[in-house]
Structure 1
Amino acid sequence: MATDPAARPASRERGLPAPALIPIAGLVWWVTGFLPWILSGLGHDVLSRLGTPLAAVPLFTGHVSELLVGSGVGGLTAGFVPLLGRGRRASRIAAVAAGVTLTVMIVVMQSRSALGGTDGRVLDGLTALVVLVSVVALAIGLLATAGRAGIGIAGAALAGAAPVWLPAVLSQVGLDGPGAFQHVTDVARWVGAAMLAASLATIGLRRVARLVWWPVAIVLAWIVSPTVTAAAYIEPMLRPGMGLPDMLGEHLSATLDVWRMAASPGVRPLTPWIVAIVAGVVISLVLDRVRAKDHPVPAEP
């Protein structure tokens, strides 16, 4: 059944104009991605002892994994911002990219200024990390503008980051007391599992071709945590005095081994992943039945 042409202009008018997405995308990138750092007072406890001003992002050694997660989660969530806008998709994507780019420039410049006494090579390396991860994550997040399959893949990446990002947030609101670590970790894993199930259900099963995107989404969610683990491993080796650049090849080889071990199925609980996949299948089948009832295929004469 064809869509009523009269309804199309009204649907295109819903949402924010593209220019309004510029500041929203920037705020989403920073506030969502670096929420743990913001809740900690922008590093007040750490930086006050160093006698330096507060920094918008933790652009110093000891926080590589935090920069990785913050830039990644920020870029992924900012990729959903075009869905709030109206008009041509290219215009909305350009507005979001501009907003994230401007915000990255501002927070990096402010943080570099606040940490001016840090080794310039360290600042340059961490700046490159923030920029690179933000670009890659935003590109994945912007898949959400490509339809249900894109939304599911971008959501799966966020689901993979949830078990790493959420405990950091909960610890800043006082939920990291004695004996609470395991509970917080379990909650974060199951939140990630719920997000993965929702992402897979969004991709759906109604069309067989969409099955191709299920492994992509699952693998993308799976590799997020090992990547953060590998970043935390290599971080101490990238400091001055660790034999760089002569030892860089050996450090990278060891880090790759750590990534492989962290990505192996035997080092993390598989139950949340199995439940997420089964739930995704069940929800997809239920939704497909509902859609079939709402939009029955007409019988051939």
Structure 2
Amino acid sequence: MWALVPFAALAWCAGSLPWLVHGAGRAAPILLPLRAGMLTTLVLSAAVGGLLAGGLARLAAPGRRGAALLATGCGAATGIVVTLAQSVAASDAGTGFDADPRVLTGLAVLTAALGALAWGAGSLVVAGAAGSGVVLGLLAAVLPGWLSSLLPSSLYGPALGTALVWLQALVLGTALVVVGVRPAARLVLWPVVVLLAWLVGPALTAVSWLEPLLRPGTGLPRTLGDSLAGAWQVFGLAASPGARHWAPWVVAVVGAVFGAVLLDGRRRGGGAAQG
């Protein structure tokens, strides 16, 4: 069971692949993008890494899920501490705005908090199919932004954006199928999963809007409160129903209804045949 510890630490590091592939070679090499101008990448790295680390608990036998949570928690904590320590130390050796102790402290605390929260969310897999569906729904929300930052810039364009939107719909539909329709109480989780997937995107949009304001010459820290208020307004606008195309979401939900009902029918039919 304790073999999950190093795998969870590696899963946390895997969240930073976009930065490690495209950005770690700049100036002083650091494992995490502790740069105010890379806030979106940092948030996505912490979210994906934490979800992956927590989700590893699903590999444990049902009777050992508690030990698996402890193992993945230790692994995620080790990964967070080691990568933050290296990144802060390397950033301290530099100069300028991003080397300011107040900036580094804020970004480090944000990373640790998001990583712990994402690990907790990923650990919902121990709750069975319902929890695994919620985790998949969260992955559907962060996957497009994470993949777009990982893929080469030469692929950027409308076609990639469309493909990522439909990939998100596919993962979201899969999440709903995993949650299932039986017992009927699981249907309560369907709108929860959809809502989580719907709101994470606008939150990332707000972070992207805030990112360029976190730089020298913008009056920080005096203007931080106004910037956060503006980011909240951006979140509200991005979360409004008219801010995105509905077709992928409708297709995801309708497809999940058919898929979940069909899968449930097959399971019941198989159970009746065995009886």
What CA distance in whole angstroms lies between the structure 2 residues aligned with 1:73 and 1:212? 25
**From 53, 60, 69, the counterpart of 1:78:** 53
8 Å contact 1:122–1:239 — kept in the other structure?
A: no
Which residue is 2:11 aligned to?
A: 28
8 Å contact 1:141–1:154 — kept in the other structure?
A: yes
Q: Structure 2 length as normaliser, TM-score?
A: 0.92
What CA distance in whole angstroms lies between the structure 1 residues aligned with 2:91 and 2:228? 27
What CA distance in whole angstroms lies between the structure 1 residues aligned with 2:240 and 2:138? 18
**From 165, 181, 206, the counterpart of 2:146:** 165
Which residue is 1:175 aligned to?
A: 155
Choose 273-282 or 83-92, whichever is displaced more. 83-92
Which residue is 2:187 aligned to?
A: 211
Aligned pairs for 1:125-204 (under 5 A) are 125-171=106-152, 174-176=154-156, 181-204=157-180
Give SS of 1:62's match: helix
Moved over 6 A (4+): none
Aligned pairs for 1:1-301 (under 5 A) are 18-31=1-14, 33-40=15-22, 42-44=23-25, 47-48=26-27, 52=28, 54-86=29-61, 88-116=64-92, 117=94, 118-171=99-152, 174-176=154-156, 181-296=157-272
Deviation at 1:238, TM superposition (A): 3.5
What CA distance in whole angstroms lies between the structure 1 residues aligned with 2:159 and 2:21? 21
RMSD of the TM alignment (CA)?
A: 1.8
What CA distance in whole angstroms lies between the structure 2 residues aligned with 1:258 and 1:233? 8
8 Å contact 1:152–1:217 — kept in the other structure?
A: yes
What CA distance in whole angstroms lies between the structure 1 residues aligned with 2:168 and 2:9? 24
Aligned length: 269
Q: Which runs of 5 or more structure 1 residues have no equivalent in the other structure?
A: 1-17
Deviation at 1:130, TM superposition (A): 0.7
Give SS of 2:35's match: coil
Choose 271-280 or 82-91, whichever is displaced more. 82-91
Give SS of 1:215's match: helix
Deviation at 1:162, TM superposition (A): 1.4
Percent identity over the alignment is 37
Choose 84-93 or 124-133, whichever is displaced more. 84-93
What CA distance in whole angstroms lies between the structure 2 residues aligned with 1:190 and 1:260? 23
CA gap 1:279/1:243 in 2 versus in 1, 3 angstroms:
same
What CA distance in whole angstroms lies between the structure 1 residues aligned with 2:271 and 2:73? 37
